[in-house]
Structure 1
Amino acid sequence: MVGALLADIRAMAVDFRLRPGERINEVALAAKLNASRTPLREALNRLVSEGFVTFESGRGFFCRRYSVAEVQDLYQLRQAIERFAVERAVELASDNLISELRAFLERTAGEEGRTLEDVLAYDEYFHETIAGWSGNGEMLRTLRNVNARIRFFRWVDMQARRGRTQGEHREILDAIGNRQAGEAVALVDRHIVRRRDEIAEALKECHARLFVDEDFVHPAFKSAEELCA
């Protein structure tokens, strides 16, 4: 029961159906999810530890409000993980694994029939696959947590650059396949730093969509595992 609630509420926090800074009405949320208060509170407390929700004594639970500095911190953490991941991939990834990921890029290339949510899920799958090659399970779990926490911001940002992402991925994978660790790290840096430097504008756009645009439709995010299974 708690696991299902955790997944449902996490999804609501990721796509900001629970808006940043909004106090979570536990009674209403329990009724909406057909849950009792005890497992609901357990799920909310776990989401506090994951960074999606905050708790204020005497006031209750709130969907986390993100500042520019906090989102930049998450991007810096993502960059550090992915730098290490590509270095390890150069050492450890077999030619077969690299060929399989290259085939995945070919299968998912092109814009026709792809939603922005699809493109973002493919992007996460690419990076998480490389992180998985490192053999470090904790690092992969951390990357997945970071990706979920910045997913909405990346979804907004992706609208302006969706056509460039696949080409950048191919360059990173080619560097790994050629066993060029320095080149792979440099490409990852460019891939992520450019986005990190535009966080302030992305946050403004997110705020406008969530709090100003009355016709805004929340994205139907898919996990990389769901879309690519």
Structure 2
Amino acid sequence: MEMDSPKAATPAAAGVNLASMAYRTILEMILDRRIPSGEVIVEDRLATALSISRTPIREALVRLASEGLIRKEFNRPYRVREVSNREYFQSMRLREILEGEAIAAAASRIDPLRLQAMKAEMLRLRDEPKIRFEDHWAADEELHTLIAEASGNAVLAQIIRDLRVTTRLFELSGLPSRIRPDCDEHLDVIAALETGDPAEARAAMERHIRSLAKDVLGEIAKS
């Protein structure tokens, strides 16, 4: 019996794939500061760099705008969103409140297997001689998202995701000294979750977020 040959991707599917590829690439460029905060995004330049047409580039930019990473004013090009000191610290205060609420709700609901996997990853990163910044960010994102989603409140989880976009854009200027303290604090959060005690979990999360905000304030004071 002859096997059917694989079907070629339809034009629509190919377009979706190109848009997804463009989204991931532009996102990485923003998060790596290759496109800094406030910089204009030039569609033609991106299309040339990625060797694709402007259509998937535009689709990717619409998606990035919907996630709050870039902004577009009327009759003007997209720009990478800039986050002020004031907006950052206000967002961090909200994160302290809302992520504290989320983790308290998640304490009795979180998947223990996923929590163990996160613990193993944090231990690996903590003991890594040279931690890659992107690996740290990925683990940070995974843990905070896991907790927000385990809260069982989809609206709360979405608000937390939006706030994390804001604070991450601000922190992208680089806080390399925070990588190992973050790992230790994340391990404290995981340990608190393992107890199943909502109050202990809330306290660990609040300490973590306050610690980060304090270190950022210290970096700002130096500049």
Which bracket does the TM-score occupy, shorter chain normalised? 0.7 to 0.9
Q: Secondary structure at the match of 1:5?
A: helix
3-state SS of paired residue (2:107): helix
Equivalent residue of 2:72, what SS? Answer: strand
My pick for the range that moved more, 141-150 or 163-172, is 141-150
The separation in 2 between residues aligned to 1:94 and 1:3, in whole angstroms, is 29
8 Å CA contact 1:131–1:139 kept in 2: the answer is yes
Q: In structure 2, give the amino acid aligned to 1:120.
A: W
SS in 2 for 1:109: helix
Give 1:10 deviation, angstroms. Answer: 1.9
- Residue in structure 2 matched with residue 38 of structure 1 by the alignment: 55
What TM-score comes out, normalization by structure 1 length?
0.72
Select 1:87's aligned residue among 104, 114, 117: 104
Alpha-carbon shift at residue 146 of structure 1 (Å): 4.5
Bigger radius of gyration among the two: 2
| Alpha-carbon offset, residue 79 of structure 1 | 3.0
Distance in 2 (CA, whole Å) between partners of 1:94 and 1:129 is 9
Is 1:170 the counterpart of 2:193? The answer is no
Q: Does 1:16 align with 2:33?
A: yes
Counterparts of 1:93 and 1:56 in 2: how far apart (Å)? 41
**8 A Cα contact 1:83 1:189, kept in partner:** yes
* Greater Cα shift, 35-44 or 49-58: 35-44
Tell me which residue corresponds to 1:52.
Answer: 69
Q: Name the residue aligned to 1:196.
A: 213
Deviation digits for residues 9-50 of structure 1 (CA, Å, limit 9, x no counterpart): 222222221122222222212211222223322322222221
Q: Which runs of 5+ in 1 are unaligned?
A: 209-229
Deviations 1:162-181 (A, max 9, x none): 33233322322222222221
Alpha-carbon distance in structure 2 between the residues aligned to 1:10 and 1:142: 20
How many residues align? The count is 206
1:25 maps to what in 2?
42
Q: Secondary structure at the match of 1:92?
A: coil
* SS of residue matched to 2:78: strand
Structure 2 SS opposite 1:24: coil
Confirm or deny that 1:3 pairs with 2:25: no
Match of 1:66 in 2: 83
Alignment partner, residue 12 of structure 2: none
Residues 40, 79 of structure 2: 8 Å contact kept = yes
Residue identity matched to 1:122: A
Three-state SS of the structure 2 residue aligned to 1:62 is strand
Deviation at 1:93, TM superposition (A): 2.8
Instruction: State the 1:143 CA deviation.
Output: 4.3
Q: Which range moves more in the overlay, 156-165 or 3-12?
A: 156-165
Q: What is the SS of the residue equivalent to 1:91?
A: coil
8 Å contact 2:82–2:170 — kept in the other structure?
no
**Distance 1:3-1:138 versus aligned 2 partners, 3 A rule:** farther
1:125-157 Cα shifts (integer Å, max 9, x gaps): 333333343344565555455445544644555
> Matched residues in 2 for 1:6 and 1:139: separation?
25
User: Take 1:54 and 1:162, find their aligned partners in 2: how far apart are those partners?
Assistant: 29
RMSD across aligned C-alpha pairs, in angstroms?
Answer: 3.1
